Amino acid sequence: MLSGWLQIALTLLIVGAIAPFLGRYMARAFQGPDWLPERWLYRQIRHRTDEPMTGGQYLRAVLASNLAIGLVGLGAFWLQDRLPLNPTGLGAPNWDLAVHTIASFLTNTDQQHYSGETAITYGSQVGILGYLLFFSAATGLAVGIAFIRGLSGQPLGNFYRDLTRSITRVLLPLSLPIALLLLLNGVPETLAGPAIASTLEGATQAIARGPVAHFEAIKQLGENGGGFFAINSAHPFENPNNFTNSLEIVAMLAIPTSLIFTYGEISQNRRQAWWLFGLVGSIFLGLVALSAIAEWQGNPTLAPGPNLEGKEQRFGWAQTALWAVTTTATMCGAVNGMHDSLMPGSGLATLLGLFLQMVWGGQGTGTAYLYVFLILTVFLTGLMVGRTPEFLGRKIEKREIILASAILLVHPVFVLIPGAIALAFPEQLAGISNPGFHGVSQVIYEYASAAANNGSGFEGLGDGTLWWNLSATVSMLAGRYLPIAALLLLADGMAQKQPAPATSGTLRTDTFLFTTVTGVTILILGLLTFFPVLALGPIAEGFALR
């Protein structure tokens, strides 16, 4: 038991030590002058990246680039059987699976309704999905930086410039050493077909492999989560040992934890950044403790001891519990164990991470969700004490509250409505493998993961059908682009406001009291909406085991 808790503590201490330094680096990376290769690139494409965009222009650039890349990727994916790098002769996917897969990787969700070994060619993995791993992460990071600038009263910047810097200054430089470390620890990187091995019985076996190391690095660092193999990071070719497991957890947490300090640097409010880091870290530690205790106690109806069902023995209960909470808190979606086998307490912890969306959160957008909660807290506390709500010297008015409320309503709408339809017609919408409380959790987790752009799942759900492919696609697209639109418009409005000088009546947002109120607001607004389904799912399942 003690060794498991020590593993968790050591991993989190490493993340805490890295975050402030990486946050300051990213602030300089996005605010500094162009590098020579970047200037050369901009000249080649004849684009003026030194001209800042309005919120509407930034949004149109995001949507246009994502649509273009998505259509090209979809066309290439449909033709994968005719393209190079297909050593096993795989065919083209069904149209609904192709649409779901491209939408999934385009939105940084990487929800997978297929098995990578038997459905996706090397050409698709590297040329299509591999590119989308960088592009989708860079899009989210660019939007997050633009939102921070807007809150701070600065112009939002230029999307194409931010997109380029996200890749060249953050994602590529960090993913290269991670890929090298994975390669040195046994993760394959080859374009050769499956290895043929002889078993002890004298039969032959084809062992899937491929260009995994570079794919795995950006998959973890960019909060993508889509595995090269069907069982994701539980596969020894994606995650061979305890060192790579800890490395991949740190990679998942590195950018989301650091972006809080990036905000502190850009807004010149480092004190508030530390308070927010402490707030989010406290919620995260609470979820980790809930999951770890549930897995350590195990299933009371079976033999005493930790719950080891669905877990890799090389990781054990502690690293699996930490990973499960981390992957849902950061919206990464990668798994090193099967979430369908988690105890109800762990299932509750993972669902809470998906529902809140700001416990570190997704690439760039998770940090933005945190500040949306801050804006609502400023508004509520301002009303309670009779002061004009202000954030960073700018008034919070009707438009900001409408946009902030819309951002928070998108998620429950595209989780609860399709979830209710699926639960209302279980025979027609086959796939639910558990008719009890766990079946409710399976369905809600599927749509919560899709709408939050996470991608993990309770994989007892048979989700490779037309209904699940298309309904999850709608949730993914809505959960990605509707909040991005509202976030950019909100940031643009804040950037255009004239700052008011601080007075004795100004509500300070960098104090322990305000941070505590923010935490309470997050828990109330984030959890009450989903409490009925939590009560029917993991909470009821937990009571049923006693």
pLDDT score recorded for residue 503: 67
Rounded to 5°, angle at Cα 148 from 145 and 151: 150
For residues 97 and 103, what is the distance between their CA atoms, to the nearest angstrom? 10
Cβ 27 vs Cβ 260: under 8 Å:
no
Cβ 446 vs Cβ 457: under 8 Å:
yes
For residues 519 and 365, what is the distance between their CA atoms, to the nearest angstrom? 18
The tokens for 21 are 């330094």
For residues 209 and 223, what is the distance between their CA atoms, to the nearest angstrom? 23
pLDDT score recorded for residue 250: 95
Global pTM? 0.94
Between the CA of residue 507 and those of 23, 36, 149, what are the distances in Å?
A: 26, 44, 21
Cβ 299 vs Cβ 307: under 8 Å:
yes
**CB contact set of 508 (below 8 Å; sequence gap of 6+):** 514
The tokens for 390 are 């202000």
Place of tokens 């030590």: 17
**Quick one: which of 390, 484, 465 has its CA closest to 108?**
484
| Residue 427 CB neighbours (<10 A) | 6
**Quick one: which of 330, 291, 285, 357 has its CA closest to 13?**
285
For residues 99 and 397, what is the distance between their CA atoms, to the nearest angstrom? 40
**Which long-range contacts link 30-38 to residues 24+ away (Cβ below 8 Å)?**
30/145, 30/157, 30/162, 30/165, 30/169, 30/262, 30/266, 31/266, 34/161, 35/168, 35/169, 37/168, 38/161, 38/164, 38/165, 38/168
Radius of gyration for the chain, computed over Cα atoms and rounded to the nearest angstrom: 23
Residue 464 CB-density burial (10 A; 0-12 exposed, 13-18 middle, 19+ buried) = middle
CA atoms within 13 A on the CB side of 16: 14
Place of tokens 């402030």: 20
Backbone angles phi, psi at 189, to 5 degrees: -145, 85
For residues 523 and 282, what is the distance between their CA atoms, to the nearest angstrom? 12
Buried b (16+ CB within 10 A) or exposed e, 504-516: eeebebeeeebbe
Cβ 325 vs Cβ 284: under 8 Å:
yes
The tokens for 50 are 């030194």
Helices first, then strands: H and E counts in the chain? 21, 4
**Tens of each residue's pLDDT in the chain, 546 residues:** 677 788 888 888 999 999 999 999 999 999 988 888 888 888 877 777 778 899 999 999 999 999 999 999 999 999 998 888 888 888 888 999 999 999 999 999 999 998 888 889 999 999 999 999 999 999 999 999 999 999 998 999 999 999 999 999 999 999 999 999 999 999 999 998 888 888 888 888 888 899 999 999 999 999 998 899 989 999 999 999 999 999 999 999 999 999 999 999 999 999 999 999 999 999 999 999 999 999 998 888 877 788 888 898 889 888 999 999 999 999 999 999 999 889 999 999 999 999 999 899 888 888 889 999 999 999 988 888 777 788 888 888 899 999 999 999 999 999 999 999 988 887 667 778 777 888 899 999 999 999 999 989 887 788 888 899 999 999 999 999 999 999 999 999 999 988 777 666 677 888 899 999 999 999 888 888 899 999 999 999 988 887
For residues 157 and 172, what is the distance between their CA atoms, to the nearest angstrom? 21
pLDDT score recorded for residue 349: 95
For residues 375 and 390, what is the distance between their CA atoms, to the nearest angstrom? 8
For residues 74 and 68, what is the distance between their CA atoms, to the nearest angstrom? 10
**CB contact set of 122 (below 8 Å; sequence gap of 6+):** 85, 86, 87, 191, 210, 211
User: What stretches of 497-539 show up as alpha helix (H) in DSSP?
Assistant: 512-528, 531-534
For residues 58 and 139, what is the distance between their CA atoms, to the nearest angstrom? 11
